Amino acid sequence: MQIVNVLSHGPVDYMSIDHLQRYLHHEVAAQRMPDSLVVWESRATYTAGRRTEDQDIPDTHVPVIRMDRGGSVTYHGPGQLVVYPIVKVRPPKDVVAFVRNTELAVIDALGAYGLDSHQVEGRSGVWILEPGKQDRKICAIGIKFADDATMHGLALNVTTNLDEFMRVIPCGIQDAGVASLQSLGITTTLDAVATILIPHLARVYQQFLLRPSEELVFADADVLLEQMRSYRPDSQAATGTRWEPKLQRMAPAPTASLE
């Protein structure tokens, strides 16, 4: 499995990594490139899934990107470890099992910090459950299967500014909060968490892979970022676009005037 670690670049533009993941997905789906884990940190961005309504969008200077995933709007930003598994899966394709095993890998990794985290029936992600307190999500997970390969992934709050989540209802869940390792009193870095998490993810994904391989190979992220520049997706609608209100998206295009 190929590890594409972009953390050394610091927080990067969301659309740049979205372009990278779609390039890798195109290559992995065609079996021209090994299964990959993209590890990165985003600049402050809100992403809007297919269930997002105009009233869900925060009034903020932070960019809002419309994405081809399920769910509503959520936040990505500095201090959040994002991992995109881009792997070719064998039949039968079971996205629920893939998500559940991703959750288990995160739970095992957080256990290295002595943290007790959980799955919650009927809800994706990894949760902090404490008696008498609101359930809090520490890791959001959203996976998409396309052309027998996965895309999108997980976002684990390490030192994330949780105030940014207060502008929205994360993933459309109204009766829960958010947490980070920092808010739970754990001091660490994204690099340290990634070092622990990556082997757990690689291990649980083996059962789903069309081409299982336990070897971890660290790719040159800069080379791949350069290669992706020549990749043009089949449809612009599939690449992620800036959010526009629905009325604006539905309005007819302006006509040219001869005056």
Which positions are annotated as active-site residues?
171
Q: What is the residue whose two structure tokens read 């958010």?
A: 178
Sign of CA dihedral 174, 47, 17, 14: negative
Among residues 97, 94, 115, 96, the alpha carbon closest in space to that of 106 is found at 115
8 Å CB contact between 150 and 89: yes
Q: How far apart are CA 182 and CA 6, in angstroms?
A: 22
Q: ω before 245 within 30° of 0 (cis)?
A: no
Binding residue ranges for substrate? 69-76, 140-142, 153-155
Distances in Å between the Cα of 173 and the Cα atoms of 36, 58, 122, 151 are: 30, 15, 12, 22
SS3 223: helix
Give strand pairing partners of 143: 152
d(CA 47, CA 222): 25
The DSSP string of 65-85 is EE-SSSS-EEEE-TTEEEEEE
Helix (H) or strand (E) holding 152: strand 149-157
